[in-house]
Structure 1
Amino acid sequence: MALTVYTKPGCFPCRKTVEKFREAGIEPRLVDATQVPAALDYITEVLGYSQAPVVVVDDDFHWSGMNPGCIDRAIRALKSVT
């Protein structure tokens, strides 16, 4: 199970989301959606999100924005795999 966080520069919710994962010992793959056109297309056109961060745990578990409940759920899921 891989964890990807799509971010944008200066985004406070992005920074806090990544910080929560790192505090839990999980290093997410970071993608700056403003620098990678394919990433922006993916999060807006495929996933339908318009707010950063966009967090993708897997095809069925993803969200946008600062969501502590989803962050905790993802941490539990990722820790149970390792």
Structure 2
Amino acid sequence: MSVTVYSAGPACPQCTATFRHLEARGIEFAEVDIRDGDSAREYVTEELGYTQAPVVVVDDEPENHWYGFRPDLIDRLIIGAAS
């Protein structure tokens, strides 16, 4: 399973909470700061349709993503990986 978190940087409290919850659950993830380039920002806003960070994308699947701090969905990743 690959998890990518598109973040708005260290000043984003929901991003920080998402990172901490993923780390606490032992889920490895890659962080992409959407402030660093147009391609990541365009992907999040135009392709996925989000205007808020963080955006979490699982396994690069277009239907498996969400925005905001969602501990319930992070916890489901653990359940899904165990089955």
Query: What TM-score bracket applies, with the shorter chain setting the length?
Result: 0.7 to 0.9
CA distance in 2, matches of 1:61, 1:74: 11
Q: 1:37, 1:80 → 2: CA distance?
A: 36
Counterpart position of 1:31: 32
Point out where structure 1 has 5 or more consecutive residues left out of the alignment. Answer: none
Letter aligned with residue 4 of structure 1 = T
Alpha carbons 1:14, 1:53 under 8 Å: kept: yes
Give the alignment's TM-score, normalised by structure 1: 0.87
Question: What TM-score comes out, normalization by structure 2 length?
Answer: 0.86
* Structure 2 counterpart of 1:2: 2
Measured against aligned partners, the alpha-carbon deviations of 1:2-58 in whole angstroms (never above 9, x if no partner) come to: 100000121000001011111111221000001021111001000001110000013
**Percentage identity across aligned positions?**
44
Give the paired residue count.
80
User: What residue identity is the alignment partner of 1:57?
Assistant: V
Unmatched 5+ stretches in structure 2:
none
Q: Is the 8 A contact 1:21 1:75 kept in 2?
A: no
| Post-superposition CA distance 1:45-82 (Å, at most 9, x none) | 000011100000131210001112111112322x327x
